[in-house]
C-alpha cells in the first residue's frame, strides 16, 4: 500500500488527538475541584478547602486573559482561564453559603441558651466588601462581595492594560505575572509540610493528579510553542510537585519530630 493511502486515516486521527489535547487543557484544570465541591456540598463543611486558592487562581486567570489581548496565544489556554474563573466563583459561592450557614447555626444556639443579650454580641460579625481590615479580607459573608472585589480588580487591571497595551515590556511582564502566580500555588503546601515536618492529612492521590496535570500542561505548552512564560512556569510547577512528593517519601521513611498542632487537610490546586 502506498504511503499516501493512509492519509485519509492519519489526518482525522491527528485532528482527533489535537481536539482531545485541547479539551484536556480547557477542562483538565477544574477536574480536581469537582470532588472537592461535592464533598463540601455533602458534608456542609468547607474548613478543608482554602478560599485563598480561589483568590490566587482568579487573579492568575484574569491576568492571563488580559495578556491574551496583548499577545494572542492558543485558544484552549484562553478558554481554560474562562472555565477556571467560573469554577472558582462557584467554589466561592458554595464555601460562603456553607460558612455563613454554620455561623448562623452557632448564633442561634448561643442566643437560645443565653440569659441576656450578651451572647448575641459574641455572634460572628457580618463581613462586607467594604471592610478594609486585612483580617476580614476575603472572608466576607456574602458572595456578592467577592464578585464586587473580582470585578473591581478586573476593571482596574483592565484599564491599566488598555493604557499600556502598546508596551511590549508591560505585556510580557503581565504574562509572566499571570503564570507565575498560578505556578506558586503549590508553594504554601510545600512550606506547610516543611513546618509540620509531616505530610499527614495531605492526599497523595491529589498530589499525583497535580504532577500528571502539570506535566501534561507543560508538554502542551512546549509542543504548541506557547509564550515562553507559560513553559518556564509550567516547569516550575512540576518542580514544586516533585518537591512535595519528595517530602512524602522523606517524612514517611524518616519521621521527624512529632507535630505539635493539628494538621488540616491539604487545599487543592489547579492542574
How many residues are recorded in the chain?
A: 271
pLDDT for position 63: 95
Model-wide pTM > 0.75: no
Distance CA 65, CA 175 (A): 9
Tell me the range of 57-66, 130-139, 223-232 where mean pLDDT is highest. 57-66
Distances (CA, A) of 149 to 78, 153, 186, 208: 22, 6, 24, 33
- Choice among 27-31, 117-121, 123-127, 169-173 with the minimum mean pLDDT: 117-121
CB proximity list for 12: less than 8 A, separation 6 or greater: none
pLDDT in tens, 124-150: 556 665 555 677 788 888 899 999 999
Q: What is the mean pLDDT of residues 83-103?
A: 90
Percent of the chain with pLDDT over 70: 72
Confidence of residue 119 (pLDDT cuts 50, 70, 90): very low
Confidence of residue 176 (pLDDT cuts 50, 70, 90): confident
Domain ranges of the chain: 13-104+137-253
**DSSP tag of 73:** -
pLDDT for position 263: 43
Instruction: Please say whether the beta carbons of 13 and 62 come within 8 A.
Output: no
Return the half-sphere exposure (C-beta side, CA atoms, 13 A cut-off) of residue 250. Answer: 14
- Residue 243 scores a pLDDT above 50: yes
pLDDT for position 14: 67
pLDDT for position 261: 46
Instruction: Please say whether the beta carbons of 263 and 201 come within 8 A.
Output: yes
- Residue 69 scores a pLDDT above 90: yes
- Of the candidates 118, 236, 245, the residue with the CA atom closest to the CA atom of residue 181: 236
Q: Which residue is listed with cell 492521590? A: 205
pLDDT for position 195: 79
Confidence of residue 115 (pLDDT cuts 50, 70, 90): very low
Q: How high does pLDDT run on average in the chain?
A: 76
Distance CA 3, CA 143 (A): 60
- Choice among 47-56, 196-205, 260-269 with the minimum mean pLDDT: 260-269
| DSSP one-letter string for 197-240 | T--TT--HHHHHHHHHHHHHHHHHHHHTT--HHHHHHHHHHHHH
pLDDT for position 167: 93
- Residue 156 scores a pLDDT above 90: yes
Amino acid at each position: 500500500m502506498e504511503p499516501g493511502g493512509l492519509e485519509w486515516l492519519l489526518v482525522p486521527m491527528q485532528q482527533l488527538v489535537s481536539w482531545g489535547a485541547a479539551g484536556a487543557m480547557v477542562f483538565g484544570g477544574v477536574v480536581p475541584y469537582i470532588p472537592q465541591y461535592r464533598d463540601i456540598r455533602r458534608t456542609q463543611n468547607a474548613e478543608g478547602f482554602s478560599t485563598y486558592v480561589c483568590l490566587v487562581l482568579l487573579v492568575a486567570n484574569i491576568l492571563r486573559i488580559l495578556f491574551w489581548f496583548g499577545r494572542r496565544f492558543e485558544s484552549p489556554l484562553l478558554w481554560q482561564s474562562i472555565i477556571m474563573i467560573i469554577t472558582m466563583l462557584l467554589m466561592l459561592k458554595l464555601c460562603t453559603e456553607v460558612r455563613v450557614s454554620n455561623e448562623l447555626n452557632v448564633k442561634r444556639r448561643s442566643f437560645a441558651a443565653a440569659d441576656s443579650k450578651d451572647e448575641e454580641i459574641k455572634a460572628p460579625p457580618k463581613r462586607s466588601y467594604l471592610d478594609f481590615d486585612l483580617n476580614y479580607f476575603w472572608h466576607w459573608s456574602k458572595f456578592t462581595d467577592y464578585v464586587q472585589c473580582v470585578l473591581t480588580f478586573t476593571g482596574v487591571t483592565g484599564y491599566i492594560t488598555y493604557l499600556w497595551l502598546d508596551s511590549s515590556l508591560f505585556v510580557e511582564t503581565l504574562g509572566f505575572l499571570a503564570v507565575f502566580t498560578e505556578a506558586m500555588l503549590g508553594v504554601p503546601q510545600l512550606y506547610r509540610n516543611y513546618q509540620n515536618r509531616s505530610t499527614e492529612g495531605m492526599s497523595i492521590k491529589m498530589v499525583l493528579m497535580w504532577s500528571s496535570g502539570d506535566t501534561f500542561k507543560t508538554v502542551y505548552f512546549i509542543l504548541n510553542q506557547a509564550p515562553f512564560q507559560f513553559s518556564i512556569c509550567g516547569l516550575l510547577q512540576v518542580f514544586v510537585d516533585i518537591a512535595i512528593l519528595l517530602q512524602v517519601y522523606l517524612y514517611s521513611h524518616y519521621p521527624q519530630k512529632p507535630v505539635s498542632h493539628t494538621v488540616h487537610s491539604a487545599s487543592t490546586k489547579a492542574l
